[in-house]
Structure 1
Amino acid sequence: MQFHEYTRFDALGLADLVRRGEVSPAELLSVAMARADATHGQLNAIIRRYDDRARQRVQQCFTPEQPFGGVPFVIKDLFQEWEGAPSSWGNAAHARAISPITSDVVRRWTDAGLVIFGATNTPEFGAKNMTEPRDFGPTRNPWNTKHTPGGSSGGSAAAIAAGIVPVAGASDGGGSIRIPAACNGLFGLKMGRGRVSIGPMAAEGLFGAAVQGVLSRSVRDTAAMMDILQGPEAHAPFWMPRPDQAYLQAIERPPRTMRIGYSTESPTGTPVDKQAIAATEDAVRLLTALGHHVEPVKLPFDGKQLAADFLLTWFCAQAFLVDELCRQEGLKLSDFEPDTQVMAAMGRTVSGPELCGCLERWHLHTMDLTRFHAQFDLWLSPTISAPPLPVGALTTPPALHMVNKVLSGLGLFGAIRKSSFFQEIILKNLGWTPYTQLANVTGRPAMSVPLYWTPDGLPLGVQFVGPVNSEARLLQLAAQLEHARPWFDKRPNL
């Protein structure tokens, strides 16, 4: 099989070719590896290869019951552990440890017949919306290598957009599936809380805000992936009941007519690029033409308070993670990026009552969104407030690193964190991605759909947020949009 033939199919299509004996898993793996080799210098999407394990894997028999039998696949190098292999989480020092376990999602992927041959780049601990870890270097966008593919699943998104694989492992703790989907012309669905296990190494990620999932070129690939990933695990603290019908079957039916409220206003009050507004208004016209009722609405939540509450819990999680790796693996603070050290230092200034109060406000944000969904089926917004940023656009200047080091030495982070100056800084840092945290804090499903490209040829997705248990509804709408405005054959000139 040649590369141009390989990219004509999504993952389910490739698996069907294997099932019918028209191509072998070894052939597919060879094409995927060759494409990964050819694009690595331009993109830096895959930072670790498992070629030997993959070659052994394709010699095994795949059964007709495996929906993705023989299809090449890459996992995200963050909390997607594979027994016997290292996992860096974007940090080279942590990569010295070999995982003694396999994550639930990785086990389900291999059970479904996928052939894992690499792990994709991610920012350190997934803590940024651009994929530029100090230890592994930046990943670049296949549509324009001067720009970012987003984060934190940026490596996976770049690998798909470049044609290395049709679908890849991803996760989303604050937009990390939807942001890269928007930047790379891909479909990205964040499942609701409790749908997919993040175990067995943890009960929940970021108090339930972080979920496992995939990025893909086709809606049906994501639907089939959700069918294999969702469902209970004995060690999970809770789970959502299975849907009445498989997601892959559900998307065969068109969605019912929906009432959709939309807004382009930034929840944090930061500027919104005219292209992000144009992308949303274009989606409104398409939805209206398809028979849906779409109307402008006020923001259904307090965006600035939600951003502050999201970041406070994120800082606490970073502090816990840094301290645990130092305790368990003997890492030193210098092993972590300066920005990670600052976030962890901020987290250590948060008291127990303050954190509990913050988590209680998460419930208030959920109630705000619940009231909105009592009137509207979905909330529509830009996924990101501007087209993909240039690589390095959000890098912290060295001079500010020195200031942070001095502040840390003086123990002033507690006072700084509560200052208006710091509040303005964090709102500015979320300025490019102010829309996505809502679904994580509330635990609701949300998706980014690739309906728009800028005049410069950069993808710019739009986001839909649904109520609890609305994954099937979102997938049905995505399939309808995919049929009305196909994107599968849009490919970067790489």
Structure 2
Amino acid sequence: MSPQEYSSMDATDLARLIREQHATPKELLDLALARYHRLNPQLNAVCQPMIDIARKRVGEPLAGPLAGVPFLIKDAIQDYAGMPTGNGSTVFSRIPARRHSHIVQRLLDAGAVIFGKTNTPELALKGVTDPEAFGRTVNPWNTAHTPGGSSGGSAAAVAAGIVPMAGANDGGGSIRIPAACCGLFGLRPTRGRVSVGPAAAEIWEGASSDGVVSRSVRDSALALDVLAGPNVGDPFQIAGAQDSFVNLAQREPGTLRIGFSTRSPVDTPVHPEAIKAVEETVALLQSLGHEVVEAEPDYDGQALARSYLMLYFGQVAATLDEARTMGARDEEFELLTRVLAAFGRSMSSARYVASHRQWNSFSQALGQFYQQHDLFLTPTLAHPPIRHEQAQIPTRQAKLLHNMLRSGALPTLSRWGMLDNMVNDMARKNLTYVPFTQLANLTGTPAMSVPLYWTEKGLPLGVQFCGPVGSEGRLLQLASQLEQARPWKDRWPAMATEAE
């Protein structure tokens, strides 16, 4: 098999070649590693290589729907026994996982050949991928721009053709955002569809779901078939699908009533190209016979943004407190991480619970919306993939925050309620580029980013479809129809084709 043939095939095709004995697992691994060695120095997509483990694995008998397919997992949540799950942090990169996560075990049982872990921002907290511990990951379409986050390493590796799909997770858009930035398909499953056990019961109060980023809809359907299901001891389980997701994805979606909006829920500007991406999608949907109307759920976007930030505060504080019990110091974490933790430590438990109770109002609003509409269409991002420097904290602000942390003023002022305006400003600014994705997380509903649009400068800019709980089958059906109507699989960044 040639390098061009390898990169042009999705995981479904590669698995078929293995089954039909037209290729061997070792051959596919060699091809994947050749692209990795050629491209990763530019991309910085893989932060923890596992090459020796993979070479040993291809010498063993492999069986299952992904037998022999090269694969990468995200360096967050997706534990591989004996390897650290670094979470973009020097602290956690010192601690090896005691056992495989449910996700990794499912992939191994399906025959996947895992040869590395992909880069993520510290604690998977941002929509860009720039951890101080492992360095910045770049977008294969234009290295001056972000690949998104927090699954940016996975998205960059798939977009560059190192692997056909890679592990990802999504607690605020972290599957959909990098998929949108890198021209990939990304489906965030319903809460509880894929277990994150056994090391955790749920991630971020159930707001986070695990899945993949991929180049084809059928690969994401296949991955969901492999990954879906509970782990012993899970606190929350949902009913399985009536058929395999691969089979469901092959069926026609029927005529759907789809509501759409291009208005930012936090009333920040939306770039004209993000609006154009939705408008072109609306026209495409109408040409396919769907009923598309301008409509949006009736919820308070600013309240959702504050609730989401409160989740950050509490979760980051608890994580850094846990790190302290292992002998780590706060100073070993990045400035933004420490600021979030300081807010979390100053927040009362009553305030955290009150914020969490608001999630129900968002679920109720979305549930009412789905009484009249099958799906909800928005931009995935409010702006094309940003340049790296746009994600950096301004020097003056960073110095102020550092001094407030060092003096102890930040948590004190927060407890007195004197920083509420700063919190509201953070909620607004942090979500300026990504205001559309968090609704699915706080309501536990599935959502997908579909790569239907490229900007005038040649950057991908996906559109998002959200659905009610358990509607992954319908989302996959629509995505398959859109993929057939406007194929994206053969669109490649120049970096990827030059590497062949």
TM-score, normalised by the number of residues in structure 1 = 0.98
Q: What residue is the counterpart of 2:13 in the other structure?
A: 13
Opposite residue 151 of structure 2, the aligned amino acid is S
Query: Is the 2:296–2:376 contact (alpha carbons within 8 Å) kept by the matching residues of 1?
Result: no
Is 2:315 aligned against 1:317?
A: yes
Opposite residue 37 of structure 1, the aligned amino acid is H
Query: Is the 1:417–1:423 contact (alpha carbons within 8 Å) kept by the matching residues of 2?
Result: no
Shift of 1:298: 4.0
Is 2:213 aligned against 1:215?
A: yes
Change (3 A) 1:267 1:417: farther
1:306 match: secondary structure: helix
Query: Is the 2:72–2:116 contact (alpha carbons within 8 Å) kept by the matching residues of 1?
Result: yes
Is 2:440 aligned against 1:444?
A: no
Is 2:392 aligned against 1:395?
A: yes
Alpha-carbon distance in 2 for matches of 1:313, 1:414: 17
1:235 match: secondary structure: coil
Counterpart pick for 1:239 among 237, 246, 250: 237
Superposed CA offset, 1:24-44 (max 9, x none): 111110111111111122110
Shift of 1:2: 2.1
Pairing 1:230-269 to 2, within 5 Å after superposition = 230-269=228-267
2:358 match: secondary structure: helix
RMSD: 1.1
Superposed CA offset, 1:289-326 (max 9, x none): 00000011145321111010011011100000011011
Q: What residue is the counterpart of 2:479 in the other structure?
A: 478
Q: What residue is the counterpart of 1:87 in the other structure?
A: 85
Is 2:182 aligned against 1:181?
A: no
Relative to structure 2, which stretch is displaced further, 381-390 or 412-421?
A: 412-421
Say how many residue pairs are matched. Answer: 491
Relative to structure 2, which stretch is displaced further, 399-408 or 95-104?
A: 399-408
Unmatched 5+ stretches in structure 1: none
Shift of 1:418: 4.5
Alpha-carbon distance in 1 for matches of 2:62, 2:41: 33
Opposite residue 382 of structure 1, the aligned amino acid is P
Q: What residue is the counterpart of 2:119 in the other structure?
A: 121
Alpha-carbon distance in 2 for matches of 1:417, 1:331: 30
Alpha-carbon distance in 2 for matches of 1:343, 1:417: 16
Opposite residue 350 of structure 1, the aligned amino acid is M
Q: What residue is the counterpart of 1:493 in the other structure?
A: 494
Alpha-carbon distance in 2 for matches of 1:445, 1:418: 34
Relative to structure 2, which stretch is displaced further, 292-301 or 380-389?
A: 292-301
Pairing 1:188-227 to 2, within 5 Å after superposition = 188-227=186-225
1:47 match: secondary structure: strand
Pairing 1:332-481 to 2, within 5 Å after superposition = 332-408=329-405, 409-410=408-409, 411-415=412-416, 418-481=419-482
Superposed CA offset, 1:198-245 (max 9, x none): 111110000000111110000000001101111122111121111111
Shift of 1:352: 1.2
Opposite residue 77 of structure 1, the aligned amino acid is D
Shift of 1:62: 2.0
Opposite residue 201 of structure 1, the aligned amino acid is A
Q: What residue is the counterpart of 1:48 in the other structure?
A: 48
Superposed CA offset, 1:323-343 (max 9, x none): 10111x211111100100000
2:389 match: secondary structure: coil
Opposite residue 441 of structure 2, the aligned amino acid is N
Unmatched 5+ stretches in structure 2: 496-500
Opposite residue 48 of structure 1, the aligned amino acid is Q
| Matched-pair identity in % | 48
1:192 match: secondary structure: coil
Pairing 1:273-312 to 2, within 5 Å after superposition = 273-312=271-310
Q: What residue is the counterpart of 2:498 in the other structure?
A: none
TM-score, normalised by the number of residues in structure 2 = 0.97
Is 2:30 aligned against 1:33?
A: no
Opposite residue 15 of structure 2, the aligned amino acid is A
Alpha-carbon distance in 2 for matches of 1:280, 1:59: 47
Superposed CA offset, 1:245-281 (max 9, x none): 1110011111011100000000001100000000000
Change (3 A) 1:215 1:417: farther
Moved over 6 A (4+): none
Shift of 1:355: 1.1
